[in-house]
Amino acid sequence: MAQNLTQALILQESAVCAHNYHPLPVVLTKGQGVWVWDIEGKKYLDMMSAYSALSHGHCHPKIISALEQQSHKLAMVSRAFHTETLAPFLKKLCELTALDCALPMNTGAEAVETAIKAARRWGYQVKQIPKNQAEIIVATENFHGRTTTIISFSSDQTYQADFGPFTPGFKLVPFGDSEAIKRAITPNTCAILIEPIQGEAGIIIPKTGYLTEVAAIAQDNQVLFIVDEIQSGLGRTGKWFAYQHENVQPDGVIVGKALGGGVYPISAFVAKKAVMDLFTPGSHGSTFGGNALAGAIGLAALTTLESEKMIENSAALGDYFLAELSKIAHPWIKTIRGRGLWIGLEVNTNLIQARDICLKLLDVGILSKEAHDKVIRFAPPLIIQKADVDWALSKIKLVFS
Ligand SMILES: *Cc1c(COP(=O)(O)O)cnc(C)c1O
């Protein structure tokens, strides 16, 4: 009966919802902390965390409380007016990134678009690049979102096919290769835009020193160094930001996903004053960006990460989880890598597809999702406890036995 209901709901959704995703066959109805329940009453450990948007876990009481209180008071006025909640939220974000100003948006892609606009404007107005000649250097296998401009500099056919014509002004170089960046720089380069660790590409960690080299190249060539921390940031890798694994200071940081506390879309581009001041009234905007509710939730998301020591937990349990996972030997497993609670298990695709493993994990009560056919990600909420990690390990071992 319940099984039939699951099938029926999946079919109903499939009939009216675009097929731009390929969800696992489960219908979820309730979430609490690291756990979610399907409509048949089966419980799962969420190791997917909505692509890292759910670092606080499901329905975190402090986030829900901020949402509730502010939504009864004032939610939306647009930025045609000031509110009480925006300044404290953005001030916190600036402190954490050691930058000066933030421009609030809603989705990650919008914040990336904001960074692109800022970099180009800086290129023309500060670096004096000739009109419409600005170039931004990006990395192969990048994922920065789905707008037509952003997919214009994707190296992935799945993201691009039949969506052209594309936006010019981007140069792709291999990820992890700082010499390639050096070679790609011209007098018209205004920015280097990279993910410090590539998430959607399969949790690809560049060699130590890469970020330091990129930051130095940017500095030496009067080019902005911008990092997309939408997925890697806010504690996912065991530090506030993944760039902090090296001693670098970016000129711009893009945040999103977990910034919304798992309940609301909030993103921002954070930058130095010299960059942000180039945005003048009317030059950029968003109806919902920086609304009163977002300010309250965004601040709660940041302060809760801090007060509940979720970043320390991500570092400690991430190390433990990775070490234990690495002990599992099975021909299906090619490599396991990760940083903090962001772990990728790459499978031997000649033996099995990542999605098949995700289906097996679903059976044993673990929610995960493949990245690029060959990598299974383990990215639980940062509130996870050791007992839950041990529970997950026992289930994962079942799948690989
Ligand atoms: C998810 C993601 C984005 C896009 O965010 P949306 O909120 O889906 O628009 C951009 N960059 C990175 C690194 C991401 O992981």
Each residue's pLDDT tens digit in the chain (401 positions)? 677 999 999 999 999 999 999 999 999 999 999 999 999 999 999 999 999 999 999 999 999 999 999 999 999 999 999 999 999 999 999 999 999 999 999 999 999 999 999 999 999 999 999 999 999 999 999 999 999 999 999 999 999 999 999 999 999 999 999 999 999 999 999 999 999 999 999 999 999 999 999 999 999 999 999 999 999 999 999 999 999 999 999 999 999 999 999 999 999 999 999 999 999 999 999 999 999 999 999 999 999 999 999 999 999 999 999 999 999 999 999 999 999 999 999 999 999 999 999 999 999 999 999 988 899 999 999 999 999 999 999 999 999 99
Annotation says 257 is catalytic: yes
Distance 3 CA to ligand 1 centre (A): 33
16 exposed, middle or buried (CB, 10 Å; 0-12, 13-18, 19+)? Answer: exposed
Query: Closest residue (by CA) to atom 15 of ligand 1?
Result: 231
199 lines ligand 1 (CB under 6 A): yes
pLDDT at position 163 is 98
Catalytic residue, candidates 89, 143, 153, 241: 143
230 lines ligand 1 (CB under 6 A): yes
196 lines ligand 1 (CB under 6 A): no
For 280, other C-beta atoms within 10 Å of its C-beta total 8
Whole-number Cα distances in Å, 125 to 121, 156, 223, 282, 340: 6, 32, 13, 17, 39
236 lines ligand 1 (CB under 6 A): no
Distance 265 CA to ligand 1 centre (A): 11
Distance 149 CA to ligand 1 centre (A): 14
Which residue(s) pair with 160 in the sheet? none
* Ligand 1 atom showing the smallest separation from residue 229 Cα: 13
Spelled out in words, what is the top-level CATH class assigned to the domain 61-307?
alpha beta
Annotation says 143 is catalytic: yes
Distance 342 CA to ligand 1 centre (A): 15
Q: Look at the domain 309-339+353-401 and name its fold.
A: Aspartate Aminotransferase, domain 1 (3.90.1150)
138 lines ligand 1 (CB under 6 A): no
* Ligand 1 atom showing the smallest separation from residue 106 Cα: 7
195 lines ligand 1 (CB under 6 A): yes
Q: In whole angstroms, what is the distance from residue 136 CA to residue 121 CA?
A: 12
Distance 150 CA to ligand 1 centre (A): 10
pLDDT at position 3 is 76
Name the segment(s) of the chain with CATH classification 3.40.640.10.
61-307
pLDDT at position 1 is 61
* Ligand 1 atom showing the smallest separation from residue 110 Cα: 9
Residue 316 Cα to chain centre, angstroms:
21
* Ligand 1 atom showing the smallest separation from residue 265 Cα: 7
Three-state helix/strand/coil letters over the chain: CHHHHHHHHHHHHHHHCCCCCCCCCCCEEEEEECEEEECCCCEEEECCHHHHCCCCCECCHHHHHHHHHHHHHCCCCCCCCCCCCHHHHHHHHHHHHCCCEEEEECCHHHHHHHHHHHHHHHHHHCCCCCCCCCEEEEECCCCCCCCHHHHHCCCCHHHHCCCCCCCCCEEEECCCCHHHHHHHCCCCEEEEEECCCECCCCCECCCCCHHHHHHHHHHHCCCEEEEECCCCCCCCCCCCCHHHHCCCCCCEEEECHHHHCCCCCCEEEEECHHHHCCCCCCCCCCCCCCCHHHHHHHHHHHHHHHHCCHHHHHHHHHHHHHHHHHCCCCCCEEEEEECCCCEEEEECCCCCCHHHHHHHHHHCCEECEEECCCEEEECCCCCCCHHHHHHHHHHHHHHCC
Distance 106 CA to ligand 1 centre (A): 11
Name the segment(s) of the chain with CATH classification 3.90.1150.10.
309-339+353-401
pLDDT at position 372 is 85
Q: What is the dihedral of CA 319, 320, 325, 326, to 10 degrees?
A: 60
The type of residue at 367 is L
pLDDT at position 280 is 98
